[in-house]
């Protein structure tokens, strides 16, 4: 049995990642050969050489402080990427492909409605108002309630979707508290009607600035457009109203926008703002969703797309907008490759990951085009925090604890027992951490050590 075999448990190398295992040479991390620490505490440096073993983060090993010395006594060797990097990712893709037909059948949504169909639906709403007026009745608009969990059903293959029997909200034209919203809805319906009729497009921002006094804020316009989309049972993109995306994408990807513009997302160019697309070309092995823009930019600066090529990085810059979620879903529908989420080990990061995977209550009516239930949690896992220096950990607040309790009660977590275990571990430890905390181990630890080894050894849940 080789030393690498002795240092492995269940196919994963035994050991921890710490300053006496890896040091910094120039601008990159390089593996160090240690003569003082006992073998079980040190991972073989094979991921960065030719040996089949590699560093990993098993929870059963001692914390960083138990190592005997610093890296100055080590012998340094230059790192080279192993060709085995994608073996576990390829296995995961095979599993996903075996289930893709079943998933596609369950995720089949409502067929696209024609432009004439949209016009007919809007005309129906206006006709209803005119009929009420002719009968001396108060015109009322009825909207599905997009804020109540009671209106939500869960399907593991689709995510959170609006129940067929849902409660509604009545917008009355004679009520002081709702008359303004009634007028706002009618105004935007008239704008949408003209856009669809002329086959032209406008941004949500255009709609707001054309009548600032009526709408008061951009948020009002955004919410009403979603209300109309839900009321008419029409995807927002079919209403001819566009939204400027806040997200970015980079990596092995080219696509065509609806106007025929070719967009190249390869890392040699700057990160590309996410927009609509009709044709995707990519040879990527996986997609990584990055929670924060700061982390996304750091990964680009560290040339991660090249080091782990071919891959695609995408960020919604926090809570994702609809365009970012549409892009992730489009990539999944087109490529059928593994999608990993890289988020902070805190309640907010977990919730953002759940939005990509299972959707949100407010947009549950469009679940079939926005959710990707195949998303895997790559990091930062609460179980990884046992290897992060204590001074980089942040105590949970009362708000954090309440959010964790809320997450555990959500219907989708019943289908993710390993996610529940990670959340429960965070509850027990009462600490959280940002991805930036890994830099306290070494400046390039996230890019050069943590992510490559997570991907190589299937360190996702």
Kindly provide the b/e burial profile for residues 266-283, where b requires at least 16 CB atoms within 10 angstroms of the residue's own CB: ebeeebbebbbbeebebe
**What is the DSSP code string of 62-89?**
PPGGGS-S-GGGSEE------GGGGHHH
DSSP 3-state assignment of 428?
A: helix
DSSP state of 399: H
* Active-site annotation holder among 201, 209, 412, 450: 209
DSSP string, 358-396: H--STTGGGHHHH--TT-EEEE--GGGGGGS-GGG-EEP
Q: How far is CA 444 from the centre of its chain?
A: 23
E strands, 38-149, in order: 75-76, 140-144
Phi first, then psi: what are they for 33, rounded to 5°?
-95, 120
What CA–CA distance (Å, rounded) separates 153 from 364?
9
- Residue 358: active-site member: no
| Element housing 420 (H / E) | helix 417-429
What are residue 403's phi and psi, to 5 degrees?
-65, -40
How close are the terminal C-alpha atoms of the chain, in Å? 30
Residues with Cβ within 8 Å of residue 83, at least 6 apart in sequence: none
- What lies within 8 Å, CB to CB, of 229 at 6+ separation is 235, 236, 239, 365, 366
Active site residues: 209
């Amino acid at each position: 049995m080789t030393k690498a075999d002795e240092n492995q448990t269940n196919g994963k190398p035994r050991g921890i990642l710490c300053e006496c295992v890896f040091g910094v040479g120039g601008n990159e991390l390089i593996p160090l050969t240690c003569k003082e620490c006992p073998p079980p505490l040190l991972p073989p440096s094979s991921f960065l050489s030719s040996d089949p073993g590699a560093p990993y983060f098993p929870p059963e090993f001692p914390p960083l402080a138990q190592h005997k010395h610093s890296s100055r006594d080590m012998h340094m060797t230059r790192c080279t990427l192993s060709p085995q990097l994608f073996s576990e990712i390829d296995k995961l893709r095979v599993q996903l492909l075996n289930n893709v037909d079943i998933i596609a059948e369950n995720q089949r949504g409502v067929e696209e409605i024609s432009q004439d169909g949209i016009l007919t639906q809007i005309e129906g709403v206006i006709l209803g108002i005119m009929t009420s007026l002719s009968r001396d009745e108060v015109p009322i608009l009825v909207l599905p309630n997009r804020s109540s969990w009671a209106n939500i059903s869960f399907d593991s293959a689709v995510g959170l979707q609006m129940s067929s029997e849902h409660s509604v909200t009545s917008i009355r034209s004679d009520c002081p508290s709702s008359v303004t919203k009634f007028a706002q809805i009618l105004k935007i319906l008239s704008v949408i009607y003209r856009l669809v009729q002329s086959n032209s497009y406008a941004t949500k921002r255009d709609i707001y600035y054309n009548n600032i006094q009526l709408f008061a804020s951009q948020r009002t316009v955004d919410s009403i457009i979603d209300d109309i989309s839900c009321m008419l049972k029409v995807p927002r993109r079919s209403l001819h109203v566009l939204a400027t995306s806040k997200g970015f994408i980079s990596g092995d990807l080219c696509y065509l926008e609806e106007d025929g513009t070719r967009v190249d997302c390869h890392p040699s160019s700057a990160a590309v703002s996410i927009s609509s697309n009709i044709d995707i070309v990519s040879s990527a092995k996986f997609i990584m969703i990055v929670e924060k823009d700061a982390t996304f930019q750091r990964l680009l600066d560290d040339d991660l797309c090249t080091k782990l090529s071919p891959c695609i990085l995408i960020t919604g810059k926090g809570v994702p907008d609809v365009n970012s979620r549409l892009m992730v879903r489009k990539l999944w529908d087109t490529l059928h490759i593994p999608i990993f989420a890289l988020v902070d080990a805190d309640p907010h990061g977990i919730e953002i990951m759940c939005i990509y995977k299972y959707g949100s209550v407010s947009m549950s009516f469009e679940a079939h085009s926005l959710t990707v239930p195949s998303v895997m949690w790559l990091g930062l896992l609460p179980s990884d925090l046992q290897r992060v220096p204590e001074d980089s950990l942040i105590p949970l607040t009362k708000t954090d604890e309440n959010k964790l309790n809320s997450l555990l009660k959500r219907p989708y977590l019943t289908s993710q027992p390993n996610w529940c275990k990670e959340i429960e571990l965070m509850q027990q430890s009462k600490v959280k951490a940002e991805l930036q905390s890994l830099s306290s181990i070494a400046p390039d630890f996230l890019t050069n050590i943590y992510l490559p080894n997570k991907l190589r050894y299937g360190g996702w849940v």
